Amino acid sequence: MSDLYPVDSTELRQRGTRGIMSAAGGIGLLIVNSLLHLPLIGGIISGGLVIVGLSALFSKSKTDKIAGGVALIAGAAGLSTVLKSIPVLGAIAGFSSFVIGAGAVALLGIGGWNIFKFVKGLKSRA
């Protein structure tokens, strides 16, 4: 029944922004996951994600802290993939690659759902 009423414009903007950012994050994680298998590039990307994640954790914004935590976890998982020649990390490398891929698929799904709700909200406003 709530679909018959126009959606609030701030909620509509938030859904659109979340949808685009989540989809972009999912595509970015898929690209990072594919580049992690190249030792030099994967190490640089993983190290950069760890640094960005650590710096964002000290932000005052809750959204920045969450994004920083995701970047830190992705960077740490990437480093374990890059350093797979060490026996203990070799066992973790496949699992971490799976986790990054699953995170990318989850972000794409969340982005798709928010974009769907955004378009549906636009139609209710017309």
pTM over 0.95: no
- Tokens 């990307």 locate to 45
Query: CA-to-CA distance for 126 and 122, rounded, in angstroms?
Result: 7
Query: CA-to-CA distance for 74 and 68, rounded, in angstroms?
Result: 10
Q: Any idea what DSSP says for residue 3? A: G
In Å, what is the CA distance from 6 to each residue of 17, 64, 115? 18, 31, 17
How many domains is the chain partitioned into structurally?
1
Q: Domain span at residue 61?
A: 2-125
In Å, what is the CA distance from 100 to each residue of 2, 5, 17, 55, 121? 36, 39, 22, 21, 31
Per-residue model confidence (pLDDT) at position 1: 44
Going residue by residue through the chain (126 aa), what tens digit of pLDDT does each one get? 455 566 788 888 888 998 998 899 889 888 888 887 777 787 788 888 888 888 888 888 877 787 788 788 878 877 777 777 677 666 677 777 788 888 889 889 999 999 999 999 888 776
Per-residue model confidence (pLDDT) at position 116: 94
Per-residue model confidence (pLDDT) at position 41: 81
Query: CA-to-CA distance for 103 and 85, rounded, in angstroms?
Result: 24
Here the tokens at position 41 are: 């590039």
